[in-house]
Each structure stands twice: as structure tokens, then as C-alpha cells.
Amino acid sequence: MRVTRAVVVMLIAIIVAIGDAHAAASGQSIHFDQANKVFRLDAAKVTYAFGVDDKGRLQSLYWGPRLDASDRLPPAVTPPKADGIDGDINRVRQEYSGWGGGLYYEPGVKITFPDGNRDLELHYQSYSIKGDTLYVALKDIERAIVVTLEYEMDAGTGIVRRSATISNQTATPVVIEQANAATWFLPRSRDYTLRFLSGRWAGENDINERPVQPGKTVLESRRGTTGMQNEPWFAVRRNDADETHGQVWFGALAWSGSWQIAIEQDQVEQVRISGGFNPFDFGYKLAPGASLSTPSFYAGVATDGLGEASRLMHRLELTKILPQAPAPRVRPVLYNSWEATGFKVDEPGQIALAEKAASIGVERFVMDDGWFGARNSDKAGLGDWVVNQQKFPHGLKPLIDRVHALGMDFGLWVEPEMVNPDSDLYRAHPDWVLYMNGRPRTEGRNQLVLNLARADVRAYVYNALDKLLSENDIAFLKWDYNRSWSEPGWPAVAPDEQKNVYVDFIRNYYGILQELRKKHPNVEIESCSSGGGRIDLGVMHLTDEVWTSDNTDAFDRLRIQDGFTQAWTPAVMMAWVTDSPTWVNSRTLSLEYRFLSSMQGSLGIGADLNKWQPQDFATARRLVAEYKAIRKTVQQGSLYRLVSPQNGSEQSATESVSPDRAHAVLFAFLHSSTENYPYPTVHLQGLDANAKYRIHAIAGTFDPRTPLVASGAYWMHAGIDLLMRGDFQAAAVVFDKE
């Protein structure tokens, strides 16, 4: 029979008709092509597809720019035999694999059964669609282990959320030794560069790049917490992609415990990116009938470079992740007393600072460490959440009342998961910490980690915070966490259940945050961990902002903030203006420079206001008012990193554009003038080319010949010349649509 074009079209129509299509009101669509056994998700500018192969394995088929609705993805098939040495399983692009059948790459899940079997091969069983989520069930070829994969595509960004739930439907307990949320496959190519973030205390968010080559790069935390040594984020770009052009695949994990993201290129040059619980020291004992859910792993595709990849992440965070999503309130300007007072807090001292803070337009006054128990240094008191009577003889009420009378709300520092051995709590409950019988209890910052996986510890922490929030009019908690784990034992449970602490601790941490938010819906929370040690999409779902770094040197911050915004939105990036010279580098910076550096995120003041002169208050009052006028654009707009501060650059510049493109703000910095070179012309991005924008400078000056009103096209192509000379100069210019 001659197959005519009309017959082909008819056949396609029949196949589409027997497929299951689901187009959600949200704008994403999920489609199952039953004939080819292909699942396809579409949203925004992205298509994601996978299929069931002839053996029943789930295979990745496509992840990239959106395909035409009429495009049919061919079915998944077992790859042709290559050599007899490596089992075929290693060539299959498995969406989610059990460790079994001779697999040499990162598996989705690895399990040890009580009879010693450790082989697991997952085959497709069924699927269902509930709301915007596609559920795909896989089952081992022999044992009653069922893994349910979740897929959800964000309509606004095309970012896919994946996670897996492993159910033990056998009659015996099993131990899960590895559990990833997802494996993502990139298109077959040798042409990739990995970008990732690394750091240390006071030096977060270094940007690193390395070619993707045969072998594996592991980004991870083994610390029980997110950590700042790697951020749980990756980006892989085509080698020719840069900040503004080219294809980028990127993603981030929603988990605040030990995590791992592995980027592997196998021997046939397939690139796999897997992420989930860190398998190091992992061993989750799962009772019969019980299940374990992995964290969610979010990942997306950008076609306009690393800048667009970041903007997509920011949009996801603002509209889907943050507790107030899709419309977070703007962050208030806050004052924090830490750098001014250290542990020496008391009622008159805090009131004096609050009065000065209010005079410059601060909206939230936060008292940091030192207000409770015997907390006069970091050596004692942690765990005893009772107000220190010497420092606050009448409790916190007089301070809070004064703060309110000054027109601000009140915030308080806590570090609920920690205990100093020199505390009433530890003296009463030495077994409440993470420890191993008979072994040393290694201290960090003179403190031990409470075992939040224990029900009694969870109750203590929740009750202490609930009491604090119920008895005091507190609008904000700065929730700190100042050390990583050591000796992560849990002697109160059976030896083979102790490693469950890696999961149960974090689930209880999230549970406490959830319950507190529910009971005290107006309280906002900041995630802090010796600076930026606990920033991930998991904690971001339950907190309103994060502390970026203990390094508040405004020049160092340009680089730290540039790294931060690769993954995280400026809306949550807390940035304080502190004293000069800074404790970090003894570097002297003008107050205006310090303000402009901090105004690129969520503005705070952390300076000792008792040392300020009248002109400092005047500068601060003016810039706080300017910030309030632009903050919605800065916090919730689209960020364009125009000039990078990395690699010893002498300049840097960022631009934020409001979602409706009616407003934009340019921040520009000069490290040091050399050889009389002028500041390079700055070309704006993301404006409406046909609209007219009027400009005014918040700080610094531009060339007097610059038109005050010009088109978006003019600002993007002709640009703006800023007049900056000398060392550590800064300028900020606002663009408003006429």
C-alpha cells in the first residue's frame, strides 16, 4: 500500500486522539502518547519528554527548547549492543534507575534487603495525573519496591520539579543507601562547561567553571546542613554560551541536609546530572509499608545565556517557592544590632540604637545574639531561651513597645537547634545532642547540635519558639545555625536506625517552621547560618529571606552577591550597611558606596549608629528613602548582570527591570581608576525599546551631555557614560518610563 501524506496525517490524528492530554489552566501541559509510550510536558519555552522502552525501562528522550505541538517524539528503544564488556544498562538513558543489572553510574535508588540482595531493576507500571503533577510508578522486576516519580512543570518558567517516593511494600524492612530525586540527561555532546558555586565562612559564592569531561564532578554537603562550601545549584552551558547568549541547563535542590549533585560524563559521552540525599554515610531504614520521599530537584533550560538562567530561577523563587509566593511583600528596611554591640545587648542600649534607626527610615529593628540565658559570649547560654534578667529586667516588652512607638516592628535572633555545654539545657539533657556512645563530642563555636530528629527535642524547640512568639509581639525571627555536624549518632534508637537522622532531623526542622508559620502567620523568618550556610530551595519555601554572608565589606560583597544571584533572587539577599573600615579587610569605603552595594538586594543597616555624625544620618535618610522608591524593582524585577565583578575586574554593574518594564535601576561600581581610562559606557538591557525613559541619578553623576529622556533603544544601544574617577566609586541611576 502506498502511504500517502493524507494517511500519515490521519494516523497521527488517531494516535493523538488515543493519547491522554492534560492542559492545566496554569499553562503547562502533560501528554501521554500511548502508541509510542511517550510522556511529554510543555510549558513556557521548554519541552521535556521521556518514554517507556521495549523492556519497560523509563528513558529520557528530550529536554530543551519547546518543540512544536505537532512534533512526535520517537519511542524509547534499547540501544544497540556495543561491546561485551559494559552491560547495556550503562547505555540506557534511564530517567530513574535502581542500582542493579550492572549499572556503573549514579543510580536513582540503591537498596539493601535483609537477605543480602542489593540488585534492583525498576520497570514502568502505571501513571496518573493529579492537578499539575504527573505521577509515574515504577516497580522492581521481582520485589515489592515501588518508586513513584513526580513531574511538575512551572508554567511561567518551564522549570521542571522532580522527586521520587520509594515505598517498601515487602514484608521486611529494607535499608535505602542512596536516593536521588532525579537524573537529568543533556543532549549528547562533548560541548559543555559546568558552572558551580563554592565558598567558606565570609567568602561565599565563588563562581567556578570546568569543562564537562569523562568522569564525575560531585557537588555536595556531608555536613548535615546545606553548607556554603558548595551551593546546591548547578548550571551547564554550551561552550559558546555566556551571560547573554546560548543554551544553559540549570537546577537546584530543595534540601537543607546533606545533599549531592553529581555531574557525570560516561564512556559514550552522555551527560547525566543526578541529585538528592548525599549517599555518604546514608542508610535509611524503611519499615514494611513505609515510604521515603526524596527532596525536590528543580531544573530548567535557558536559551539566552546564564543571565536568563538566573532570571528563570529568580522568577520561580518569587512565584512558586517563597512562602508569600506568588506575590511576596517587599522586604522592609531593617536594622540589626550585631556588628554594633556583639553580645553586649541591654534595654537602654538597644533603645538608643532603635531611636537612631527610626530616624533614618528603618522599618524593622532586630536584636541579635546575647539577650537570653547566660549568653555573654559564644561560650554559654545557647539552648536556654529565657530573657536575661540583668540585661532586660522587665523582659522584652519595654524594648518592643519603644520600637513600636518609633514606628518599626521588632525582630529577634535565635539559634534553636544548638546548645552550649555550659547551659541549663545541656546540664539537664546531655543525651539530647548528636553523639556516639563513648566517643568525643566535638564542639564547633563552643556548641553542640541538638538531635532534632528526637520527638522530645523537636517538642522542646517548637515550644520554646512558640512561647517566645506568643508572649511577645515579634514580627521577625533571625534563625541562625552556626556549626555543621560531627559524630552524627542517635544512640537512643537501634543501631540500624541511627542513620535515619540525616532525613528525620531536616523533616522536623521543616515541620517546626511550618507549624510556627501556621500558628503565627504574620511572623517572617530569615535563614542564617554563619552567613550563607543554609540557602537552598527547601528552606526558601519556609523562610522569607536569607543572610548572605558575615562578610559585610561592601566591596567584597559585590563579588559575593554576584555569585549569590546566579542561583537566588535578590529579593531574599540580605545586605547590611556596616561600619568602615570593615572588620574584614580594614578597607575604608564611603557611606554612599556601602549603601549602593547593599541596595542591590534587601537593604539592612548593621552599623554602630552611636558613632555616626549628623552628615551620616543625612546621607542614610536620603538613601533609605531612595531605596524605598526602587525596592520593588530591585527585589522583584529582572536582574541583568551587566558588568561582572569577577576575576579582578575593575568595574561592575547590575541593572534591575520591573516586570512591566516601566522602571529600571542601574548600579555601577569602580574599583580603581587606571591610566586615566574613562568608565566604560554602560549598555542597559531588558528595556522596552520603543518606550521613552527619563533618568535621574541617585548617586554619582553621568556625562552632562546625556539626554534626560531617551528611548529604551537608546539606553540599550547608545548606553550611558558615568563619570567615575578614583578608587571605590559608585553610582546609581533610575530609569522611569514617561
* Minimum gap (Å) between residue 441 Cβ and ligand DGJ: 21
Q: Considering only residues 322-381, where is the footprint of ligand DGJ by CB under 6 A?
A: 338, 368-369
Q: Considering only residues 648-667, where is the footprint of ligand DGJ by CB under 6 A?
A: none
| Closer to ligand DGJ by Cβ: residue 299 or 525 | 525
| Closer to ligand DGJ by Cβ: residue 95 or 526 | 526
How far apart are the C-alpha atoms of 449 and 441, rounded to whole Å?
A: 10
* Cell, residue 371: 539577650
How far apart are the C-alpha atoms of 684 and 288, rounded to whole Å?
A: 59
Q: Binding to ligand DGJ by residue 550, rule CB under 6 A? A: yes
Name the residue among 160, 162, 161 with its Cα closest to residue 43. 160
* Minimum gap (Å) between residue 583 Cβ and ligand DGJ: 12
* Minimum gap (Å) between residue 446 Cβ and ligand DGJ: 11
Phi, psi of 513, rounded to the nearest 5 degrees = -60, -45
Could you tell me which residues are beta bridge partners of residue 419?
Answer: 448
Stretch near ligand DGJ under the rule CB under 6 A, chosen from 25-33, 81-89, 454-462, 526-534: 526-534
* Minimum gap (Å) between residue 408 Cβ and ligand DGJ: 19
* Minimum gap (Å) between residue 482 Cβ and ligand DGJ: 5
Residue 15, Cβ density class (10 Å: 0-12 exposed, 13-18 middle, ≥19 buried): middle
Residue 491, Cβ density class (10 Å: 0-12 exposed, 13-18 middle, ≥19 buried): middle
| Closer to ligand DGJ by Cβ: residue 99 or 338 | 338
* Minimum gap (Å) between residue 523 Cβ and ligand DGJ: 18
* Cell, residue 367: 536584636
Q: Binding to ligand DGJ by residue 736, rule CB under 6 A? A: no
* Minimum gap (Å) between residue 378 Cβ and ligand DGJ: 6
| Closer to ligand DGJ by Cβ: residue 217 or 530 | 530
Q: Binding to ligand DGJ by residue 530, rule CB under 6 A? A: yes
Selecting among 480, 544, 553, 736, the annotated active-site residue is 480
Total Cβ atoms within 10 A of residue 464: 18
550 carries an active-site annotation: yes
How far apart are the C-alpha atoms of 246 and 266, rounded to whole Å?
A: 24
Stretch near ligand DGJ under the rule CB under 6 A, chosen from 80-88, 355-363, 525-533, 707-715: 525-533
Residue 294 has, within 13 A of its CA and on its CB side, a CA count of 36
How far apart are the C-alpha atoms of 607 and 576, rounded to whole Å?
A: 8
* Minimum gap (Å) between residue 343 Cβ and ligand DGJ: 8
Name the residue among 133, 405, 138, 169 with its Cα closest to residue 296. 133
Q: Binding to ligand DGJ by residue 578, rule CB under 6 A? A: no
Q: Binding to ligand DGJ by residue 482, rule CB under 6 A? A: yes
Residue selected from 42, 480, 544, 626 as contacting ligand DGJ according to rule CB under 6 A: 480
| Closer to ligand DGJ by Cβ: residue 294 or 482 | 482
Selecting among 550, 553, 556, 562, the annotated active-site residue is 550
Q: Binding to ligand DGJ by residue 531, rule CB under 6 A? A: yes
Kindly list the distances between the CA atom of residue 342 and the CA atoms of 306, 345, 417, 532, in Å, as whole numbers in the listed order.
39, 7, 21, 19
| Closer to ligand DGJ by Cβ: residue 368 or 556 | 368
| Closer to ligand DGJ by Cβ: residue 220 or 550 | 550
* Minimum gap (Å) between residue 208 Cβ and ligand DGJ: 24
* Minimum gap (Å) between residue 534 Cβ and ligand DGJ: 10
Closest CB to ligand DGJ belongs to which residue? 369
Q: Binding to ligand DGJ by residue 413, rule CB under 6 A? A: yes
| Closer to ligand DGJ by Cβ: residue 505 or 576 | 576
* Cell, residue 294: 526524596
Residue selected from 528, 589, 591, 684 as contacting ligand DGJ according to rule CB under 6 A: 528
Residue 256 has, within 13 A of its CA and on its CB side, a CA count of 25
Judged by CB under 6 A, the number of residues near ligand DGJ is: 11
Stretch near ligand DGJ under the rule CB under 6 A, chosen from 148-156, 348-356, 523-531, 673-681: 523-531
Q: 3-state DSSP call for residue 673?
A: coil
How far apart are the C-alpha atoms of 542 and 527, rounded to whole Å?
A: 9
Query: N- to C-terminal Cα distance for the chain?
Result: 66
What does DSSP say about strands 174-185 and 109-112: parallel, antiparallel, or unpaired?
A: antiparallel
| Closer to ligand DGJ by Cβ: residue 33 or 480 | 480
Which residues are within 8 A (CB) of 495 and not within 5 positions of it... i.e. 6 or more apart?
none
Which residues are within 8 A (CB) of 277 and not within 5 positions of it... i.e. 6 or more apart?
178, 179, 180, 255, 257, 258, 259, 260, 284, 294, 295, 502, 503
Stretch near ligand DGJ under the rule CB under 6 A, chosen from 79-87, 497-505, 528-536, 631-639: 528-536
| Closer to ligand DGJ by Cβ: residue 183 or 527 | 527
Q: Give the contact letters, 22-41, x = binds to ligand DGJ (CB under 6 A), - = no.
A: --------------------
How far apart are the C-alpha atoms of 266 and 91, rounded to whole Å?
A: 9
Kindly list the distances between the CA atom of residue 561 and the CA atoms of 24, 549, 568, 607, 635, in Å, as whole numbers in the listed order.
37, 9, 10, 19, 13
E-assigned strand segments in 294-371: 296-302, 334-336, 364-367
| Closer to ligand DGJ by Cβ: residue 509 or 640 | 509
* Minimum gap (Å) between residue 530 Cβ and ligand DGJ: 5
Name the residue among 373, 370, 399 with its Cα closest to residue 386. 373
Kindly list the distances between the CA atom of residue 360 and the CA atoms of 348, 405, 595, 604, in Å, as whole numbers in the listed order.
19, 15, 13, 12
* Minimum gap (Å) between residue 364 Cβ and ligand DGJ: 15
Kindly list the distances between the CA atom of residue 498 and the CA atoms of 178, 221, 549, 616, 730, in Å, as whole numbers in the listed order.
16, 19, 33, 55, 53
Q: 3-state DSSP call for residue 511?
A: helix
| Closer to ligand DGJ by Cβ: residue 257 or 531 | 531
Q: Where does this chain bind ligand DGJ (CB under 6 A)?
A: 338, 368-369, 413, 480, 482, 528, 530-531, 547, 550
What residues are annotated to the active site?
A: 480, 550
